[in-house]
Structure 1
Amino acid sequence: MLRLQRCLSGPALETVRSRLVLPAAVPQVIETLRMRFGRPELLINALLRKVRDIPAPRSDRLEGLIDFGMAVQALCDHIEAANERAHLSNPSLLQELVAKLPADQRMMWAGYKRSCQVVDLKTFSDYMTSVVQDASSVVTFEPESRRNNPRDRPKNKAFVNTHAMEGAVSSVRSMNVPTGAAKQFDCAHCSKTGHRVRECIAFKALHVDDRWRRVRALGLCQNCLFSHGRRACRIRSSCDIEGCQFRHHPLLHSLRGPPKAPASNALVAENHTHRLLTSSTLFRIIPVILHGSDVSIDTFAFLDEGSDLTLMEHDLAVSLGLKGSPQPLCLRWTGNTSRMEKESQRITFEIAGEGQHKRHKIVNARTVQCLNLPSQSFQVEEAATKHAHLRGIPVSSYHNAKPKILIGIDNLRLALPLKVREGDGTGPIAARTRLGWCVYGPRESGDTEAYNFHVSRCDCDEELHDTVKQFFAIEEAGVRPSNIPMSKEEQRALTILETTTRRVENRFETGLLWKEDNVEFPNSYTMAVRRLKCLERRMDRDPLLKENLHRQMCEYEAKGYAHRATKAEIDAADPRRVWYLPVGAVINPKKPGKVRVLKGPDQLSSLPAVLFRFRQYGVAVSSDIQEMFHQIRIREEDKNSQRFLWRACPSEKPTIYLMDVATFGSTCSPASAQFVKNRNAVQHAELFPEASKAIVHDHYVDDYLSSFGSAEEATKVANDVRYIHDQGGFKLHNWRSNSSTVLEQLG
């Protein structure tokens, strides 16, 4: 029980918190945790995220290679222990992990896998095990305690403490700077030597808004004020000024980014929040109990008559089980600073004072991601000793209380002082509200150094300006010329399309867009058998899925999309270009290993341009091509790269099938389909110029959208478009029009 109490946190702790009292409840706690968080797929996903988040190892840092290898081993070991071996055959994950290795290690992996009959994640784990063993035998690890021991630091180091602002309770960040190294850096702000940006007097003299603009203009990291390009910042700490959890340098504290225009349906709230640099003032903070649907939570509320809304932090609302209607909320401070809460929700809940039974209902409160209200401590005994009028007040002491809810003027009756004790006017006052007593005001007499900010209405013209700007940006999208040259890969893909595409009766045949001329796939038969068995087990559990798949397989054969491979076809196939597509998953012949299939040039018409022409005239016509990709034949040389296994009964031996047409999962299918569609249209341009132009320019993928000045013109062009598509094996269906005459004449 002690181990559980120490190690649990977050949602896991909240799930079993009520049972963490008696040791006899340990079995029930373990079972509850296993039910909620012990599912193998959740743990595997967590390990997958961990492996993906590990920085790509570098050849000059063997420690990173060891960490990556150990993470891969842990992932594979857990997959096997959880009996989820299907994950080991995930080709895209294998490709993703191999891509993180340095170039020399990828070459060694390529040589290693040649000797393996089956190449999957377990094979890669075995390879990384050997790499980790070799790296561990030569790398020298420095103990963490030794690395961080301040006694071992060089003697020629000076210590520079950077404070965000004068009067703060404590320094927010300390940096160890070698005295001889500081002169090696030029300040990016003032271009002088001998100091960095964070030490620059001229930079510190700027207003915080101008510091943000300067940092962005210079391309500096907002966390360390250095320019380290795309590399991740090594400083992981947050700002921490007044509890700020945002990751930015203390010199940039208090701004939440550039002002943004509110959404058109956003509610605008006014808020007045005080922030103090010293601890000489008490705010109106009071302990309360919040009641949700089935949960009650003790927290602290901030009573603020300068806010016209009651606000609650999103995490607290989730813990209370509160759900409401989403409505964007715009918060705006003085200094033209604003913050947009796009996911704000309108919620209703009940609140009571500490130790009180009477509940008060709060409606139309709003959620925000973070209130970032100041934390506060109060000692009753100390205050009563200094101020006689506070003696006998039923108030509890609290330490570092951070309010998670702000009660605004819309619930003024809860903050209204019903009884007040003010003393001689030199100290804080005590006020009794409907939520209990609270003590607030100056702790001591005299001036205090503080600042505050207000939230005002966003009634400016920025929203109108941005709306008009966006309107014109969309309007001109369809008429902009595209002068972007083709890449070498796109040029290669276009060459393959032009040389391999040919008409075969009323169909077109083309080739797959291989990235390389010499294609060599690993043996994927074993993987395909495992995937087929996995699919069969799934079909046994879902008879409807089984019936659907068997029906589709029969349709594929009947329509000529696929056929059973003959012995002659299997024997004549080049084993280096054989790949089995996994049935029931995304069909993509580029997996696993190195990317081998080109995406092809983008030949799609601009969607805004198609829509603009579609709205141009009064008579609209639309249709789409039925099973567009499957109408394109694949040449014989590439069909064995589109094999798949199927059988009517699990007791039979799997039968090898060949896909004769382009597949939906192939990367190159969209480019091939557009090329074939346009080539077929160009071949009929002389006899049907308008229809040919419509096929090239008024199609978006397989959808045909056009408009005409009359029903007669619409009928003629639409019939011509249908005829041209028929000559290429494409069938238009799902005809729609706002003219019943056109629909009747189209049949």
Structure 2
Amino acid sequence: MIKKNGICFRCLNGYHSARGCKVGKLCDVVIEGQGPCNRNHHPLLHQDRIESSSHNAVMEKRGKALLNISTVHSKNLPVTVLWDPGSDTSLITHRMAKKLGLSGKDVNLSLVKVGNTIEYQSSKTYCVPLTDKNGKIWNVDAVGMNEISSKVKRIDLSKLPELFTRISNLEVDLPYGEIDMLIGTDCCEILPRVVEHNEGIQLLENQFGFSIRGRHDKITNGSNSSNHILVRTHKLSRLVDLKQINIESTDSLKTKLDKFFAMGEMGTKCKPQCIKCMCRGCPEPNCISLKEERELALIEEGLLYNEEQKCWLVKYPWLRDPMHLKDNIKVANARLKTTENRLKKLGNEYAMKYQREIEDMIDRGVARKLNKEEIQEYKGPVHYIHHHEVLKPESNSTPIRIVFNSSASYMGQKLNDFWAKGPDILNSLLGVLFRFRQNNIAIAGDIAKMYHTVKLSTMDEHTHRFLWRDLDDNRPPDQYALTTVTFGDKPSGTIATLALRRTVENLAKNIRMCKI
């Protein structure tokens, strides 16, 4: 891989040849019986060095050298521990953590490798409870790894009493097999301390008992070289790039955020009440806010039934004084000319369909033409809204439908911003489907021009003025006013739905009175 990428064999930190390298040095690894290697490569590339693909660590064989390994207990289970004062982070295998039933927290690690390159790995941190000889619990924070080192072979300790007369070989536990845990200087108070040494081998002791390390001719595993491997991790950091850190689970974070916003919304929620049927008695979990309830009360207050005309009359829920609306008739004239020019380009037949839709609105009483006397005598707020067509080619009755834009902006003002919307009181579609299947017979119906069945007050008519003239005329445009609730107004959906429900409620009362 190094050769393929053209990296220097000597310094491992440049894209030049090893012969021309001025930074690196010859390999100084000592070969047994021969002296230093002195070859033209970095010491880490010496043939006796092994690179761990699991942990990006460099491992070196040490003939007849014993690592400081012992057995400790956690939750009454034996754990093989490698005591490593050269590591600043404790490790544990995921396998042992699972065996102990530990719960881990997500964490991202950054491993600094040869050439000062950083590799990020996702892992977990565990709190491992270790029990010493006196029964005291020591909690060790350890980072999860798949493997810590290779397996350790069994060592013959029969000659150990000859080296340390104060102990027997039964008092020293030197486990073999897989290394389950590595404890570093982050837990220095429990690291073993040297109590005796003898010609390159040391006896150590800590809260968990005796252990040994080093090398001696009398301590061997029966082969020419020891199977112990020293793992050198260049640098292991849990907090390098804050953007990479993810310590807490999203579920826990969501719970805390919900609590935080719930505290911030104290006093802004009403008593639980059903939004859909407005019975005020259903224990609906998603209750409406205080703002929505006030807007709903404003809309209900303005909705009245006219007994003479047998229709509903509404006063729009104004949140801002409509007298603050700016006069936008010049913009309305300009937009009318733009609409007329576009209709003429689309052809006379298309333009006549638009004209017939305007005439149909007047014939049905949805709009009315204002005369000069009424325009001059009216002193209330005035606002003109722009209109355009929406194509519905699949509809035989209204292939072109005219809509009005109450969200158009003029000098920073939008007509829709002056009104309250209220809560969403539409029935749940899922609930409608369930009720449709509840009984043997179901009836479905449609209300023709539902929004247009609710009449506007006089002031609301004049804030819904629009301009129009015959396409062939060059005279000044006529002024019209909408007389019914308009699709596109912010409160129109709530107004129409409330009118429908009140109609049903009134009809139900009349039916009960007739039965009595």
TM-score (norm 1): 0.29
The structure, 1 or 2, with the larger RCO (C-alpha pairs under 8 Å, 6+ apart) is 2
Larger Rg: 2
TM-score (norm 2): 0.41
